[in-house]
Amino acid sequence: LIGEHTDYNGGLVLPTATPQRTRVELARRRDSTARLWSSEADPAAAPRAYAVGDEQPVGNWTDYVQGVTASLHASGYDLPVGFDLRVTTEIPLGSGLASSAALEVALLRGLRLLFDLPLDDLTIATIAHHAETDFVGAPVGVMDQVASSMGEEQTALYLDTRSMAIARVPIPEALEIVVIHSGIVHQHAGGEYTVRRRECERAAELLGVAQLRDLDEADLDRIAALPEPLARRARHVVTENARVVTAVMALRRGELARLGALINASHASLRGDFAVSTPEIDRLVELAQAEPGVYGARLTGGGFGGAILALVPVEQGHGVAMRVATRYAAETGKRPTVMMPRDAAR
């Protein structure tokens, strides 16, 4: 909902679960081989395979599976044999809606059941995060994995990514969430996402703190003295953390107009200070913000494509989603996908 690019800075986030699911089917093998199928990732390909205990990155979706078994081993959980795995997902790959985290968490849940592993849901999120950062090499924070492992629909997770403290915040029944995938795929492993993380780390170093989480809005004058673009990157993280705190209060009090204003401010900061939006995403957000009754809209996910969310009064989501998606498609020639509400999917 809000709290973007704050998690790898030790900050605050407020995710919620979408209705889409990733499912895994597993069967034990008698050898150490893992054989993998995914109709979404490999529509016409033969099964892929690797040896459990001899994981090697190969640059495709199987790295997330290999990362899970490698991270299990590194965490002290060794699998006695290999397995056959079939994956199906309703989440568009590269949509900014945590498709990789959903795969990692689903697989860990399945392996927990198949091999009777003593893993609680937070441990699953932590191992999944290590799989993505240490093995795949995507410099993401832990928000997606925690949301996939512990999130619930109609409830937001107020997560402190430094202490890993979690509070559940009910989403008011009067509020409906619209999510539209722009049709532009993004990637976290490398590229500008990595640049943003390095810029944040450099800004923290110059300001003499371990992470940007150690700063607050009282430090904005010091932040402004940084060279560009570091000043803008740090300003986004600090102000976004503050917006998360205020958004939690707004949710708890049912102050939906205030929440919407925070959502709009978040997008403006992501577009201007953090520079992770695109013209297509900006247009989707503008179309949503222009709809009567919409409280606010912003990109969601890491940026550089992906999806947007909009907050609307209950029972208005279908109409808003259809109108925004139709206008966006006509203007850009892109093919959007409505993810929420489900009855507006196209």
DSSP-derived secondary structure for 33-94: EEEEEETTT-TTPPPEEEETT-----SSTHHHHHHHHHHHHHTT---SS-EEEEEEESSPTT
* Residue owning tokens 């995710």: 15
Question: Is residue 280 within 8 Å of 308, Cβ to Cβ?
Answer: no
The Cα–Cα gap between 76 and 85 comes to: 22
Q: Which of 158, 19, 154, 22 is nearest to 101 (CA)?
A: 22
CA-CA distance, 247 to 14, in Å (whole number)?
Answer: 8
Of 336, 312, 250, 298, nearest to 5 by C-alpha is 298
214: tokens are 């150690």
Active-site residue, 7 included: no
The single residue of 78, 144, 282, 343 carrying the catalytic annotation is 144
The catalytic site residues sit at: 144
